[in-house]
Chains A and B, each alone.
Chain A
């Protein structure tokens, strides 16, 4: 044993030394960049924080579901994408009725999208995951299928191009269909939930990989559902400048989508994304730490059997967890759509994957960890990558006298921003296998 342990310790020490020197080099470059290109640095910071806020909001859904039933809900990225679509549909209807105020329309759309996605979360659980945890209650499964059908009806009038006209969403036929779909979705999800809660079926154990496969299956299903219902093209989101109530640029007479701050242009939507994300996270944190629901969630996360014996309605709490996570993903979806101006059926895949990685980075199962991981990942994709490239360049420029010689060619680190973000993950997990804030795995006997 001792023979094995020796080199392992040495390797660990070497790795730690390497990481520390890398971090030192990085912070050196960071300071230098701050001095030499303060504007670029500030802009990278804004970019990274906005991106990080989105990652964090989605990561919460992964981490909450994992914390409570140890399931990696791979369909969560698709819930985010659907949240974006539902938000867009709601905004179109609102614009059709002339509700374009920047203070009212996005908030209403956010509520609609969050409700829709919360119902979708319930339906997803009832269709794909619950039958693996308990004996299937077919009535409930059927109701959940009805909910997904409602969602499809909601999306259908948007077939082709959603942006044929902003008024589309308010046309009586379109609106009636969408409202019908929305109502079916909510009612059916509620029915599925009630049917199951009234007479919970007996628990059963299935191999954990089943639930994982089921999740991947749902992910592919939802992606294809949207592709067939809406189409493959990028759907143009309502532009931020379309809202009324934005300040007007005196030069052009058009409404502005950004304001200057310390020499950089900050988009209003970037501020909104950050503020909305932080508000939602604080609300969630309070909910989990202070309310009865949160207490029940934490109890189930610790020991579901003991929680059940203490009279906690485990099935209901699990459903509530799915609702919360999906609603947060919907919020991220609508912020994403407003931020980038377009959404596509497969947008949930990569973003969902990255958010999952953020959740792992922070320690999966830990809510504050997911928030931290999200921001960390967002910043690594922007600030860290930019700093590395900058540092590489500065280090390679050998100044002698007035002359500058390039010791090595400038490398394009931005080509590898995803790789670098994942490298950060690997580095963190090597030192802290449970993630930044995750509790080390305790072997249950």
Chain B
């Protein structure tokens, strides 16, 4: 029934588009890049930046599409980080027959349910940010992402902790979300195999501010480090209350904490916290320089976090569509975009992006940063194939930036570290 409805709707839309064509000869067929990101809700800031990066990519391609006789448009839908709204937005986006691909979702909890819809519609959906392992396990050709998944983040963080802190006792806390808990579980399991001693595994409630009871209990077990899987608000309150209780352990957490908000909430207590973030720092990648500069020029604000990811995703999708229409190979543009995007080798802001057979990026690296006086200082980048050096974290020797010095000023790498 829904399919039928959709079919009729699209038929009407197509005929409307046709009418538009005949009435004004100047307008050419429209191709739309779909964007579904949280432009409102708790992650609005991240969503807005990613949507703006996608807008920038579209603006850069518009002329080339016009030369081919197409009008490239962008359709930004808000999922508000809410799974229900995400599915509704996925229907809205895929129901538009001119959509050829989607920059899809910031939250794993949104992309998971929505991905079935993209699969049904045969619409290529690439996420700039989701990291839950499950997303690419369904075997949908239409689903991919440019961020390495939590399994890799958890694994690399466990390796990093083992290399720098030794076989320490770790208390693991998570925020019971698909993201936070999934990450914490991988960290716990991988860490155990590497010889870390996991002394506890506790969940907290998102939105709660009082973690003192939990931390008091953890303190009595005297861990060497605390790992937290979750987002910045809870991380900020956790680390602040840890320090208030006089706990001096290392605090290690994830990319959901990476941003200025962590410092706003945690204040002085954030000092020394270690945060992982996907990819190589952008200022160490020649390819990202022009993006960062033009983004700041265009929107007169610096890139904070997921902008480059959304920019690459948009470019992969647009490039695939562009080559498809240029070669006029197929009438089914969506299928053609899926085929081309999955086999693409894209040289973008993140470096060279390629997808494996599941749709996960082969460019799987995580960088580690340490909070220091209100900004994240770059420590080291770890890839899947390499193991972290056990040298002092201050002397990172990642292969990507071997030539770059590690002066503190250099580490403004942390895009979020604007004071």
B261–A233 touching, CB < 8 Å:
yes
B296 within 8 A of A: no
- Complex: chain B residue closest to A347, CB-CB: B209
- Complex: chain B residue closest to A381, CB-CB: B213
A37–B220 touching, CB < 8 Å:
yes
Query: Interface with B: A102-110, A198-206, A411-419, A432-440, which one?
Result: A411-419
Give the interface residue-count category, chain A.
35 or more
- Complex: chain B residue closest to A45, CB-CB: B216
B386 within 8 A of A: no
A70 within 8 A of B: no
Q: Which chain B residues (166-224) contact chain A, with CB distance < 8 Å?
A: 176, 200-205, 207-210, 212-214, 216-217, 219-220
CA distance A43 to B44 in the complex (A): 37
What residues on B are CB-neighbors of A47 within 8 Å?
210, 212-213, 216
What residues on A are CB-neighbors of B261 within 8 Å?
233-234
- Complex: chain B residue closest to A390, CB-CB: B217
A40–B213 touching, CB < 8 Å:
no
CA distance A239 to B209 in the complex (A): 15
What residues on A are CB-neighbors of B268 within 8 Å?
239, 241
B419 within 8 A of A: no
A51 within 8 A of B: yes
Partner of B213, one of A241, A265, A267, A417: A417
A236–B244 touching, CB < 8 Å:
no
CA distance A404 to B217 in the complex (A): 21
Partner of B267, one of A264, A341, A414: A341
B366 within 8 A of A: no
Q: Mark A164-176, 1 if CB is under 8 A from B, else 0.
A: 0000000000000
B217–A389 touching, CB < 8 Å:
yes
B205–A414 touching, CB < 8 Å:
no
Partner of B244, one of A234, A258, A385: A258
Known: A239-B267, A342-B237. A412 touches B202 (CB 8 A): yes
A39–B220 touching, CB < 8 Å:
yes
User: Closest approach, in angstroms, between the C-beta of B227 and any C-beta of chain A?
Assistant: 15
A232–B44 touching, CB < 8 Å:
yes
A236–B217 touching, CB < 8 Å:
no
B220–A40 touching, CB < 8 Å:
yes
A236–B219 touching, CB < 8 Å:
no
B264 within 8 A of A: yes
What residues on A are CB-neighbors of B383 within 8 Å?
none
CA distance A232 to B210 in the complex (A): 19
What residues on B are CB-neighbors of A382 within 8 Å?
212-213, 216
Give the interface residue-count category, chain B.
20 to 34
CA distance A382 to B205 in the complex (A): 15
What residues on A are CB-neighbors of B213 within 8 Å?
44, 47-48, 381-382, 385-386, 414, 417
Known: A234-B264, A412-B201. A340 touches B220 (CB 8 A): no
CA distance A258 to B212 in the complex (A): 15
A414–B214 touching, CB < 8 Å:
yes
CA distance A234 to B231 in the complex (A): 12
Known: A40-B220, A43-B245. A342 touches B202 (CB 8 A): no
A209 within 8 A of B: no
Partner of A40, one of B200, B219, B233, B236: B219
Partner of A346, one of B207, B216, B237: B207
A236–B265 touching, CB < 8 Å:
yes
Q: Mark B35-63, 1 if CB is under 8 A from A, else 0.
A: 00000011011000000000000000000
- Complex: chain A residue closest to B205, CB-CB: A418
Q: Which chain A residues (357-390) contact chain B, with CB distance < 8 Å?
A: 381-382, 385-386, 389
CA distance A375 to B160 in the complex (A): 43
User: Closest approach, in angstroms, between the C-beta of B81 and any C-beta of chain A?
Assistant: 11
A257 within 8 A of B: yes
- Complex: chain A residue closest to B220, CB-CB: A40
User: Closest approach, in angstroms, between the C-beta of A45 and any C-beta of chain B?
Assistant: 10
User: Closest approach, in angstroms, between the C-beta of A380 and any C-beta of chain B?
Assistant: 10
- Complex: chain B residue closest to A418, CB-CB: B205
What residues on A are CB-neighbors of B205 within 8 Å?
418
Q: Which chain A residues (399-413) contact chain B, with CB distance < 8 Å?
A: 410, 412
B202–A415 touching, CB < 8 Å:
yes
Q: Which chain A residues (231-262) contact chain B, with CB distance < 8 Å?
A: 232-234, 236, 239, 241, 257-258
B217–A40 touching, CB < 8 Å:
yes
B240 within 8 A of A: yes
What residues on B are CB-neighbors of A385 within 8 Å?
213
CA distance A432 to B363 in the complex (A): 62
CA distance A389 to B217 in the complex (A): 9
B267–A340 touching, CB < 8 Å:
no
B41–A342 touching, CB < 8 Å:
no
What residues on B are CB-neighbors of A4 within 8 Å?
none
- Complex: chain A residue closest to B211, CB-CB: A414
**7 tightest CB-CB pairs across the interface, nearest first?**
A40-B220, A382-B213, A415-B203, A47-B212, A340-B209, A43-B216, A414-B214
Apart from A233-B45, A265-B246, A340-B209, 11 more pairs, CB < 8 Å: A43-B219, A47-B216, A234-B236, A239-B267, A340-B210, A341-B267, A344-B233, A382-B216, A385-B213, A410-B200, A414-B213
Task: Give me the interface of B with A, judged by CB distance under 8 Å.
Answer: 41-42, 44-45, 176, 200-205, 207-210, 212-214, 216-217, 219-220, 233, 236-237, 240, 244-246, 261, 264-265, 267-268
7 pairs, A vs B, C-beta closer than 8 Å: A40-B220, A47-B212, A239-B267, A257-B244, A341-B237, A341-B265, A342-B265
